[in-house]
Amino acid sequence: MEGHQRLCDINTRLLNGGDVTETERRETTAFFLSQRADAASLRSNPPRLCAGGTYSPLFFTPPWPDGKRARLITGHLPKTGILHANHYELEVVRLLLLFAPQNPEVRDMAARTSERLEHTCFGKFCPKGECVAAGVCALRFYNVHAPGDAQKRRRLLEPLGKLFLRAGPGRSEWQCQLPVSYFLLALSETQDDMAVGLIRAKRDWLQRLSMSTKGLAFAARRALAMLPECAGLNREPATFNL
């Protein structure tokens, strides 16, 4: 569970613009690399309720606190093993890429993870159940691993964006099969005109969401900050129910 707590704490600090020192980056990288599992072992004994094969993690076993699945970094509790297991691995590898992009072991894990996603439905978009949310995990991973690969980015961004355009006007965290906060965070880091267009299309709704201090409001403000006309909105800190 220590790895999950580290993952959530560091992501919250980064989202809030907090400083992560070079020493902390090295220590975090060393910690997660020490937690790496044997790929063959994970394939032969996939995490509980995960489909196995290419749908199972290659390197990191998700935590099971008190026999329950661990929450996403934005607080949503997964219902399926596919989302639980893939969220954890993709977020860990993404963080390692941010902290140690030149590390040969990290680069190898990222390349093999990207190849694994090519053989999953959610890595290219799947509209069924929590495969949609797993697609958001993949988008966040691609944003760091392959920011220049517009094809990989857009094959997820386009169908996810269509679901997003149907969301609202309520304040539910889960709408149109999307974990809204998590998708908004992915949108806010996607360097693509399509992402900006989606945010602008839902600007009025996002502005209403931004008026509180909960995690959903933070994600809305962070997304709105992508628009020149809304710069400066992202002031209140992120507070997710973990």
Amino acid type, 236: E
pLDDT value of position 195: 95
- The percentage of residues in the chain with a pLDDT greater than 90, rounded to a whole number, is 62
The chain-wide mean pLDDT, for the chain, equals 88
pLDDT tens per residue, range 31-61: 999 988 865 566 656 555 565 678 888 999 8
Q: Is the pLDDT of residue 213 over 90?
A: no
For residues 91-102, average pLDDT: 97
Could you tell me how far CA 135 lies from the centroid of its own chain?
9
User: What are the residue ranges spanned by the domains of the chain?
Assistant: 2-230
Compute the chain's Rg from CA coordinates. 17
Q: Are 157 and 164 in contact (CB under 8 A)?
A: no
Of 101-115, 139-153, 162-176, give the lowest mean pLDDT range: 162-176
What pTM does this model have?
0.91
Residue 159 pLDDT class (50, 70, 90 cuts): very high
pLDDT value of position 238: 67
SS3 per-residue string spanning 22-88: HHHHHHHHHHHHHCCCCHHHHHHCCCCCCCCHHHCCCCCCCCCHHHCCCCCCCCCCCCCHHHHHHHH
- Per-residue exposure over 94-127, b if at least 16 CB sit within 10 Å of its own CB, e if not: bbbbbbbeeeeebeebbeebbebbeebbbbebbe
